[in-house]
Amino acid sequence: APTTLSEVIALRNKLKRPPFVLGDTAKGMRQAAYETFGGKAKAMIYLGNVDELNFIEESHHNLIFGAGMRVDDIVQALKKRADKLAYANELAAGLSTLAQRHVRGEAGWAGNLMLTRTGFPSDLVPCLLAVDAKVSFVTDNPHHEETINIEDFKQGHVPANALLTKLTIPLKTQGLFRYYRVAQRKWLAHAFVNAAFRIDVDPNTKKVTEARVAIGVYGQGPKRSEAAEEALVGSALNTESMLKTIRGIHSDLDVEFSSEAQYKSTDNPKGKDEYRKYLPDSYVFKFFQEAQRALGIKAWGDSELGLMKPLPLKRSTLKYEDRPGHESRPQLSAPGLTTGAVKYTDDMPVPSLYGYPVVTTCATGKITRIDVGHAEC
């Protein structure tokens, strides 16, 4: 394994498209070697021993992470700096939605960012977009490092042979940050849609002075909505600016809305498209409520947060409210599934041979004969 950035670049140039790895998770290794690289990867480059990529430091009011740091390293570092970053705990909570802790403890932030360029529905990138994070990279010269805004780190904007070296998060003493996601499961499930919001508010006028709105798993990769941000800046946190923010998101991103085929079926050919298009509206509404409460504009109770009327779904039911054409319908296969009438392949007897593995106690021996007596009947 290389120990310097120069060695990493030399190995990368010598080998044919070598995958870079940090964690030893089996899935990550298989995907890098076999799925992503079509089984052609013969070697991998481990980055865990490169000091230039494995560090955390503070410099000029920035928190900087080397590209060898794991996602959980970022989470823990943020939690320790709540006195230096106004929304450190909220940002840490947003990053903690990625996979599960054992995965975050092995997975590097740089690998997640690289996957996002190819369409991976990341929980990491919207958070970083909203906090004005920057990334640094090198190409063939380890001493020539370039730094760009994370929103510019996408295909066509950086060289194909770019190697990430740093992640920089500005340490700001004011601001409000929130991250939202909805998925099929709390852990280990891609979000239907996710969103990150950050605003600075003038303490006297209660008007927004700076805004970031980042939406993911909606269009072609996580993106900021400039129209939504413009609607917020200079405005008070009221119903009018909320509706303008929602319209801004849809005007920027609806043109590239990406349907998710995995949620479609014969019984439900539209999948979750309509529901997913509605989620950014719900996120904006909840963010406005939480911002109003945090800034003392309105005292929302915990039970009131997120209760937007009309609700997309009635609680504890599968019935839509006030949404014509989306009435509750019985699932045709439900009776058969619940009564056991549905037959699966394993339920159908077929004339076939059966095998049973027999484990040998001799690892280096040679088979001289096979006694099949106990197998015959």
Residues 6+ apart with CB under 8 A from 22: 46, 47, 48, 68, 70, 106, 107, 108, 111
pLDDT of residue 314: 44
Report the number of secondary-structure helices (H) and strands (E) in the chain: 11, 11
pLDDT of residue 310: 43
pLDDT of residue 283: 94
* Residue 207 DSSP one-character state: B
CB contact burial 218-257 (16+ within 10 A = b; e otherwise)? bbebbbbbebbbebbeebebeeebbebbbebbbebbeeee
pLDDT of residue 5: 95
Lateral strand order in the sheet of 62-66? 56-59, 62-66, 163-170, 134-138, 146-149
Return the number of other C-beta atoms located less than 10 Å from residue 273's C-beta: 15
The segments of the chain whose pLDDT lies below 70 read 23-42, 117-118, 306-330, 377
pLDDT digits (tens, 9 = 90+) for 130-182: 999 999 999 999 999 999 999 998 777 788 888 999 999 999 999 999 999 99
Residue that is written with structure tokens 């009564």 in the block: 339
Q: Which helix (H) or strand (E) holds 285?
A: helix 273-294
Cα 153 from Cα 170, distance rounded (Å): 17
8 A C-beta contact, residue 181 and residue 221? no
- Tokens representing residue 103 in the block: 């995965």
8 A C-beta contact, residue 134 and residue 230? no
8 A C-beta contact, residue 185 and residue 96? no
- Strand, helix or coil at 176? strand
